[in-house]
Amino acid sequence: MTSSDNEHELFDEIHELVTSQLGGTMTAEQAGRLEHLVLGDDDARRIYVEYIQETVFLRWHGAGEVPAAAATDAVLEGLDVKKLLGVKDSETAGQEIVAAISQVSPPPYRRRRSPAPMVAVVVSALVVAAALLGFWLSRDVESLVAEGPETKKTTSEDHLATLTSVSGTWAAATLERGDPLPDGRLTLAGGFAEVTFGSGAVVVVEGPATFEVAGPEQMAMADGRLLARVPPEAAGFRVATPSAWVTDLGCEFGVKCDSKATEIHVFEGAVEGKSRSGDPAAAQRLRLDRSEAVRFDASGQFSQILLDSARFARAVPTRGLLGAYYDEEDLTDFVEMRLDPQIDFHESKNWSDAPTGTRVEVDDFYSERWAGFVKIDRAGKWKFHTVSNDGVRLWVAGKLIIKDWTHHVDKEHDATIELSAGWHPIRLEHYQHELTVAMQLSFSGPGQETTIIPPSHLSAVNPMTGEQADPTQP
């Protein structure tokens, strides 16, 4: 058995004993074992102290934004090992340990909180730590998210997180907006999902991704991409990946991971990154501040990388373009607004004297303006193609590239524009002046044949910035 195996066994045993003690089920034999481990084994004491140290630091940081070094020193000073060595009754070993730690003076608070004795704060931290230890320290993330059946829809009232927005496809599960997410493996086959945790943290996951909600303050991800927005009251939110722990210190950050590496990008505030591969005793830990990014490889080594905010979605995109419909052909007399998955309308298929499914007056004279964002998969020259009847105007990336604001029968137009990969603003205007009607929007470019732009490449919200399109504005 390797030293790493021994260390994991110690983690497991200490976790079990502390959980029993805090849950009020500790036997005299268990109390004696805990005392023997903490007081007689250097490795066990180091694991225990580090365990308490990290947990109390996270609780205090959320309350008063205490620097890591100050919290560390305070915990170590408060944990009087000499006092622990004086424990005489094995049945009270656990209580003595908690009492010793409770002597640590709390840092000054920067936000109002309900007053409570410090021992309550520490015991609360211990409860959380005991619950987390089995997940974060004794199980491998890859096996964790791979085992067992896919999580199913639940109506449990004690759920850990809620699906607050979704625009994607789940594998072997039916999950909708507003559904609670229990502890269990989830696979987002494609698209985006926004998960709001009980702590207040909000995470946008981009598929394909495999992840697990492990509590109101933590999750695991085996592969995929996420962006976490963590308010001050949820400071300490954690993400575990195959090669790293990411602990929030009150900020906004992105994580991209697979079995080979983990990238951490900090957009606001700060996080702590810690390798979780190789020997736990040699784990590398570092603080990342705003605009910093790092990559942990499978061996636990890290390297600095360039921050890339454009790769992380801050909101779940709404697929399609937002359309404003008007009763008059000059974009006046607003009637309603709706989301159109794609622009593919024609008299022969779905439109005639009025746009189908709208309250526009059936008189053959009306207009529309669509706004949103178009996704470009590869940088290069892209051709946009319209079929209109009657007038049409098209802007892409802020440039007017097609304009024929005249009465005409079905007429094709196209224009080419150089675009980078990513999401670009798009606006399309059309009016109908009696008789037949048509409005279709296609594109083609590097690796893409001419096709009606699909919903997957249209969004009413910019996924990278959260900017909402407004088709009522010219």
Architecture of domain 321-459: Sandwich (2.60)
- Return the number of other C-beta atoms located less than 10 Å from residue 301's C-beta: 14
Cis peptide preceding 208, ω within 30 of 0: yes
CA distances from 76 to 299, 340, 434, 461 (A): 30, 60, 81, 49
State how far the Cα of 99 lies from the Cα of 120, in Å rounded to an integer: 11
What pLDDT, on the 0 to 100 scale, is given for residue 435?
84
402, 415 Cβ separation under 8 angstroms: yes
The closest of 36, 118, 38 to 75, measured between CA atoms, is 118
Helix (H, G, I), strand (E, B) or coil at 20: helix
151, 182 Cβ separation under 8 angstroms: yes
Length reported for the chain = 474
385, 414 Cβ separation under 8 angstroms: yes
206, 232 Cβ separation under 8 angstroms: no
Q: Dig out the tokens for 135 from the structure.
A: 């997940």
What pLDDT, on the 0 to 100 scale, is given for residue 404?
97
What pLDDT, on the 0 to 100 scale, is given for residue 277?
65
Helix (H, G, I), strand (E, B) or coil at 412: strand
What pLDDT, on the 0 to 100 scale, is given for residue 165?
84
CA distances from 344 to 53, 347, 350, 364, 373 (A): 60, 10, 9, 18, 17
What pLDDT, on the 0 to 100 scale, is given for residue 335?
84
What amino acid is encoded at 64 in this protein?
A: G
State how far the Cα of 429 lies from the Cα of 326, in Å rounded to an integer: 11
Residue 76 makes CB contacts below 8 A (sequence gap 6+) with: 49, 53
State how far the Cα of 227 lies from the Cα of 370, in Å rounded to an integer: 28
- Give strand ranges (E) for 82-217: 161-170, 180-181, 184-197, 202-215
60, 108 Cβ separation under 8 angstroms: no
- State which H helix or E strand residue 312 sits in: none
Q: Dig out the tokens for 25 from the structure.
A: 């089920």
Same topology for domains 141-311 and 321-459, yes or no? yes
What pLDDT, on the 0 to 100 scale, is given for residue 460?
84
Give Dmax over CA atoms of the chain in angstroms: 97
pTM of the model: 0.48
How would you write the pLDDT of the chain (474 residues) with one tens digit per residue?
A: 455 566 667 777 877 776 666 556 767 677 767 767 766 666 776 666 555 544 444 444 444 444 444 443 333 333 333 333 333 343 344 444 444 444 433 333 333 333 344 444 444 444 433 333 333 333 444 444 444 444 444 434 446 899 988 766 677 777 877 889 866 789 987 678 899 999 999 999 988 899 999 888 899 999 999 999 999 989 899 999 999 999 998 789 999 999 899 999 999 999 999 998 656 666 788 999 999 999 999 888 899 999 988 889 888 767 899 888 999 999 999 887 787 899 999 887 767 777 887 888 888 899 999 999 999 999 999 999 999 999 999 999 999 999 999 999 999 999 999 999 999 999 999 999 988 899 999 999 999 999 999 999 999 888 888 777 888 888
What pLDDT, on the 0 to 100 scale, is given for residue 69?
40
What amino acid is encoded at 344 in this protein?
A: D
Cα–Cα–Cα angle for 164, 195, 236, nearest 5°?
135
What pLDDT, on the 0 to 100 scale, is given for residue 50?
57
Question: What residue ranges do the domains of the chain occupy?
Answer: 3-136, 141-311, 321-459
What pLDDT, on the 0 to 100 scale, is given for residue 51?
53
Beta bridge partners of 433: 365
107, 61 Cβ separation under 8 angstroms: no
| Helix residue spans in 241-310 (DSSP H) | none
CATH number of the domain located at residue range(s) 141-311 in this protein: 2.60.120.1440
